[in-house]
């Protein structure tokens, strides 16, 4: 069905249509890391550090949404209207943009999703339609520090005074959603003090990501190579066969809740 009709479709029907379109098997074997914190927590800075350590490709959902809003397409106009009205972008649209970006980087060694996911619903969509992340890097910073950083950034961008003054409320609301996201990932969450010394932060990140990188190296060998796309198990139902770097069975169960 043409995207011309997307804006008139119920969210559930749109989600079903989009899930039928994307074949994520070409990149499903690649590791994924979520960098997740409130606005002003340093999501981009931490993601850049992780990228320099791992060589993984950074994907910034916010930039994807902004770029799509400039396109003269049904989806672009829908997003532009949402942004203009300051309404939330449908989670499925954001996940679709991420999937498209991942599929255009099939030669990547892994992916880092910056400031993702925004809420549990968005994480469930990604988990079921793409895969579970190997790591969720949870950025810990006080709301006051995050709000001050956000205010400075908005001021530099020349945003309206009303938007700058709303920074504290934005951070408070985001903090609640972020905590709910982290709860769903359990042992996959690694907590990082993003207000600390940059060198100490880089050293800490290298240490906590070492197992993910080692697992990826093992998976490249013929003995541990993942199954071919045609025989790969359905996402969310992987029994975690030996030699793979998939999440444990309890995580798969949570994804279906």
What is the C-alpha to C-alpha distance for residues 154 and 33, in angstroms, rounded to an integer?
A: 27
Q: Indicate whether 226 belongs to any domain.
A: no
Per-residue pLDDT at 184: 87
Residue 4 in domain: no
Q: How confident is the model at residue 150 (pLDDT cuts 50, 70, 90)?
A: very high
Q: What angle do CA 38, 55, 107 make, to 5 degrees?
A: 110
Q: Which H helix or E strand runs over 205?
A: helix 198-208
55 vs 13, residue with greater confidence: 55
Contact (Cβ atoms closer than 8 angstroms) between residue 168 and residue 147: yes
User: What is the pLDDT averaged over residues 167-193?
Assistant: 92
CA angle 63, 137, 104 (to 5 degrees): 40
pLDDT at residue 213 in the model: 84
Residue 247: what pLDDT? 52
88 assigned to some structural domain: yes
CATH of the domain at 37: 3.40.50.300
The pair of three-digit structure tokens given for residue 232, joined into one six-digit string: 């790969």
Q: What is the pLDDT of residue 41?
A: 93
Lowest-pLDDT range, 17-26, 133-142, 153-162? 17-26
22 vs 116: CA distance, rounded Å: 20
Question: Given this model, what pLDDT does residue 221 score?
Answer: 61
Q: Residue 150 has which token pair?
A: 């956000």
In a domain, 68, yes or no: yes
Are residues 251 and 128 in contact, defined by beta-carbon separation less than 8 angstroms?
Answer: no
Q: Is residue 11 part of a domain?
A: no
Question: Which run of H or E residues covers position 85?
Answer: none
Structural domain for 110, as ranges:
28-214
Q: What is the pLDDT of residues 212-256, one digit of tens each?
A: 888 877 766 655 555 444 433 344 443 333 344 555 444 444 444
Q: Compute the distance between CA of residue 44 and CA of residue 74 in angstroms, rounded to an integer.
A: 29
Contacting residues for 197 by C-beta, under 8 A, at least 6 apart: none
- Closest by CA to 125, choosing from 2, 245, 11, is 11
User: Is there a domain that residue 106 lies in?
Assistant: yes
Mean pLDDT lowest among 36-40, 100-104, 167-171, 215-219:
215-219
Tell me whether residue 132 is in a domain: yes
Q: Is residue 67 part of a domain?
A: yes
The count of structural domains within the chain is: 1
Average pLDDT, whole number, for the chain? 82
Between 34 and 198, the higher pLDDT residue? 34
- Choose the weakest-confidence range: 14-23, 118-127, 183-192: 14-23
C-beta pairs of 208-211 under 8 Å, 24+ apart in sequence: 208/135, 208/137, 209/33, 209/50, 209/53, 209/54, 209/135
pLDDT tens digits along 8-34: 454 544 554 454 579 999 999 999 999
């Amino acid at each position: 069905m043409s995207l011309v009709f997307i804006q008139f479709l119920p969210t559930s029907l749109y989600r079903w249509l989009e899930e039928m379109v994307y074949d994520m098997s070409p990149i499903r074997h690649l590791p994924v890391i979520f960098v997740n914190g409130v606005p002003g927590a340093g999501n981009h800075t931490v993601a850049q550090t992780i990228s320099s350590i791992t060589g993984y490709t950074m994907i910034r959902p916010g930039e994807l949404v902004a770029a799509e809003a400039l396109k003269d397409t049904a989806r672009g106009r829908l997003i532009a209207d949402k942004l203009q009205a300051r309404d939330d972008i449908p989670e499925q649209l954001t996940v679709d943009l991420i999937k498209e970006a991942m599929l255009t980087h099939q030669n990547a060694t892994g992916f880092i999703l910056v400031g993702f996911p925004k809420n549990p619903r968005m994480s469930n969509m990604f988990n079921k339609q793409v895969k579970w992340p190997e790591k969720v890097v949870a950025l810990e910073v006080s709301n006051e520090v995050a709000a001050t950083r956000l205010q400075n950034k908005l001021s530099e961008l020349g945003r309206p005074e009303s938007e700058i003054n709303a920074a504290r409320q934005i951070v408070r609301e985001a903090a609640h959603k972020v905590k709910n996201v982290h709860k769903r990932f359990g042992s996959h969450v690694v907590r990082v003090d993003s207000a600390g010394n940059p060198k100490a932060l880089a050293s800490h990140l290298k240490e906590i990501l070492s197992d993910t990188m080692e697992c990826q190296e093992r998976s490249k060998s013929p003995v541990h190579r993942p199954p071919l796309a045609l025989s790969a198990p359905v996402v969310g139902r992987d029994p975690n066969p030996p030699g793979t770097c998939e999440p444990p069975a309890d995580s798969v169960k949570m994804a279906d809740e």
